Amino acid sequence: MTERRLKIPRRLLLANTKFVKSNLMPTTKQAKPLQSIYQLHIELQEIQPTVWRTLWVPGNAKLSRLHRVIQSAMGWTNSHLHEFRIAGQCYGMDSFAEEFGGVAPLDESRFTIGKVLSDAVSEFEYEYDFGDGWRHHIRVQHILPATEYNNKPVCLGGENACPPEDVGGPGGFEEFVQVMSDPAHEDHLDLWRWHGGPFDRRGFDISAVNARIRRFG
């Protein structure tokens, strides 16, 4: 009796060989790039005593998120336009600039902190409310590796209260503080009602700040 051999089509043999090789050969996983955490020191300009905050912010966060974190940390209410000025380039909400006939900045939602803050950038500016003109000087203090402590935005420290919205810029703020500290001033009651109560320019509550960052940042 003649032995018959089963003839396997060549395409099946090739497919089986590829399957065996792919399952037997060791595979190496691509290492994920290490995350960088930026320690930023923020100071509100033209105000004394200085209103400042120190933050940890992940490098993969978009500038649009950094805007929300700054708003929460400083105590602003995100009620006005803003703009980042970094290494000669402007970033913000381009739709608003076009609406008012200005030159549109680059879209902040398309750029991460790590992308725009190259090794050569150690400081930059953030302006909020172009009417009142609140300019914030931001300095890169450290670039750190990510840990379980710093991989989300957090405020590390700060001093002094943020001015009220629509107070009239640095000059208007100083006048506001003087009137609020003098109950005999003829405008004291009006400003008290406008603000909704007393104002403590030294006030700063880090727990409240971080609660705002967790909620809005």
Q: Tell me what pLDDT residue 10 has.
A: 57
> DSSP assignment, residue 29?
P
Q: Tell me what pLDDT residue 45 has.
A: 98
Q: Tell me what pLDDT residue 2 has.
A: 52
> DSSP assignment, residue 109?
G
Strand partners, 52: 43, 159
Cut 0.85: pTM above it:
no
- Other Cβ atoms less than 10 A from the Cβ of 40: the count is 24
Residue 140's alpha-carbon distances to 88, 112, 120, 164, 203, in angstroms, are: 16, 15, 11, 27, 25
Residue 192's alpha-carbon distances to 49, 91, 168, in angstroms, are: 22, 36, 16
Q: Tell me what pLDDT residue 96 has.
A: 60
Contact 164, 199 (CB under 8 A): yes
- Count of alpha carbons within 13 angstroms of residue 189, beta-carbon side: 2
Kindly list the averaged pLDDT for each block of 10 residues, start to end, along the chain of length 217.
53 47 49 77 97 97 98 97 96 70 86 92 97 98 94 97 97 96 95 96 97 93
Complete domains list, the chain, with CATH: 36-161+203-216 (3.10.290.30), 162-199 (no CATH)
Which amino acid appears at position 125 of this protein?
E
CB-based contacts of 65: which residues, under 8 Å, 6+ apart? 153, 217
- Other Cβ atoms less than 10 A from the Cβ of 18: the count is 10
